[in-house]
């Protein structure tokens, strides 16, 4: 994490009696109250919204499908981010100091990278799932089984674990920057530095799945448009019950693909400022203003809050599940067999 030194008439420090203390940005009580409210609201939306998705998919048998298993795993990553990472990030952002010690700073940063990277790769995996559902519907059931979904989920967690722990605990990310890190580091700060090779690698790890997702969704929307035209030309025909069922299923798959395409679009908007700043910062000796870096960081966090909001807006089953959860009707016998969609 980057920080810039602030010149003020009255300088405050994170630790008044420590020589190498970081400078603390002075804020009024009102400013801090507003910031705490906004950030904590983001935390509540992230944890609450993703918790609803987790309970819904876990509880209702109608939602037990390979695709929803992937969505469930994505929601778990976002929920854990809101539960274990964001509360401490809120304190650091508002107080502009890190008071939890160096050990927890390293652990917090590792878990932060782990869960955020997991979200990225789960979105990529979900895009692959939607490709087969829309573009190869006749082979979808054979190719994307529950077993395949679990393999995808495992890969979507294992790679981020290796990457995050490898970056932080081997210190490969700041190798060659020891003197600069020593100068910029101070008590009360929790910083993450990327040297040039790791800054490029970090960008590749982000952009590789991004370009893959863009290509996949472009193909999905092309096929979906062709299928929509075909359905339009056949509207006056008399469909059998089986034909009608297939058409309804195809419409659901296409709507799911479009919804997840919106999820990906929001994801790109939220992540780009952080990735670009990380790439540029290493070439300007980490002089990005703290407020700019912190804002880019929170854009990444807010992405985890958007997903359940998008589900709530586009998926009737999500709204129905939310109503059943809030009214505690899921506690009734056989509530897991309630139909959330026809």
Rounded distance, CA 132 to CA 143, Å? 8
What is the pTM (predicted TM-score) of this model? 0.85
pLDDT of residue 114: 95
Residue 96, sorted as left (phi over 0), alpha (psi -120 to 50) or beta, turns out to be left
* 3-state DSSP assignment of residue 67: helix
pLDDT of residue 260: 65
pLDDT of residue 2: 44
pLDDT of residue 150: 95
Q: What is the DSSP letter of 187?
A: B
Output the CA torsion sign for 259, 262, 267, 268: positive
pLDDT of residue 299: 93
Structure tokens at 274: 């952080």
Strand partners, 13: 23
* 3-state DSSP assignment of residue 76: helix
pLDDT of residue 265: 81
Count of CB atoms within 10 A of residue 201's CB?
Answer: 16
pLDDT of residue 234: 60
Rounded distance, CA 316 to CA 322, Å? 10
pLDDT of residue 231: 63
**What is the residue extent of each domain of the chain?**
12-337
Structure tokens at 92: 């650091």
pLDDT of residue 254: 60
Return the CATH superfamily for domain 12-337.
Rhodopsin 7-helix transmembrane proteins (1.20.1070.10)
Average pLDDT, 10 consecutive residues per value, the chain (342 residues) = 43 85 89 95 94 93 91 94 96 93 92 93 89 86 92 95 88 80 84 85 86 85 74 57 59 64 81 88 83 90 86 78 90 89 76
Distances (CA, A) of 245 to 294, 309, 342: 49, 29, 10
pLDDT of residue 5: 37
Residue 239 near residue 247, CB atoms below 8 Å: yes
φ, ψ of residue 192 in degrees (nearest 5): -130, 120
């Amino acid at each position: 994490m980057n920080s810039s030194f602030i010149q003020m008439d009255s300088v405050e420090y994170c630790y008044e009696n420590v020589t190498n203390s970081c400078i603390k940005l002075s804020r009024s009580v009102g400013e801090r109250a507003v910031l705490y409210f906004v950030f904590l609201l983001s935390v509540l939306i992230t944890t609450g919204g993703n918790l609803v998705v987790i309970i819904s998919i876990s509880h209702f048998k109608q939602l037990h499908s390979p695709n929803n298993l992937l969505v469930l795993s994505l929601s778990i990553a976002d929920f854990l981010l809101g539960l274990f990472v964001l509360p401490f990030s809120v304190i650091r952002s508002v107080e502009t100091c890190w008071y939890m010690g160096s050990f927890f700073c390293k652990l917090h940063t590792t878990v932060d990278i782990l869960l955020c990277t997991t979200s990225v790769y789960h979105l990529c995996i979900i895009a692959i799932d939607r490709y087969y559902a829309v573009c190869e519907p006749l082979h979808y059931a054979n190719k994307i089984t529950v077993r395949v979904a679990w393999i995808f989920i495992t890969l979507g967690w294992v790679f981020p674990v290796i990457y995050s722990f490898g970056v932080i605990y081997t210190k490969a990310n700041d190798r060659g920057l020891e003197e600069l890190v020593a100068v910029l580091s101070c008590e009360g700060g929790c910083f993450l530095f990327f040297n040039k090779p790791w800054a490029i690698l970090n960008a590749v790890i982000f952009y590789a799945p991004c370009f893959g997702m863009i290509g996949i969704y472009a193909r999905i929307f092309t096929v979906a448009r062709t299928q929509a035209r075909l359905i339009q030309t056949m509207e006056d025909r008399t469909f059998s019950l089986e034909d009608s069922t297939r058409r309804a299923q195809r419409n659901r798959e296409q709507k799911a693909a479009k919804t997840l395409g919106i999820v990906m679009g929001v994801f790109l908007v939220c992540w780009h400022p952080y990735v670009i700043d990380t790439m540029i910062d290493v070439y300007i000796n980490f002089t990005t203003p703290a407020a700019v870096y912190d804002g880019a960081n929170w854009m990444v966090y807010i992405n985890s809050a958007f997903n359940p909001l998008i589900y709530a807006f586009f998926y009737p089953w999500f709204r129905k599940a939310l109503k059943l959860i809030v009214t505690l009707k899921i506690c009734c016998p056989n509530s897991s067999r309630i139909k959330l969609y026809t």
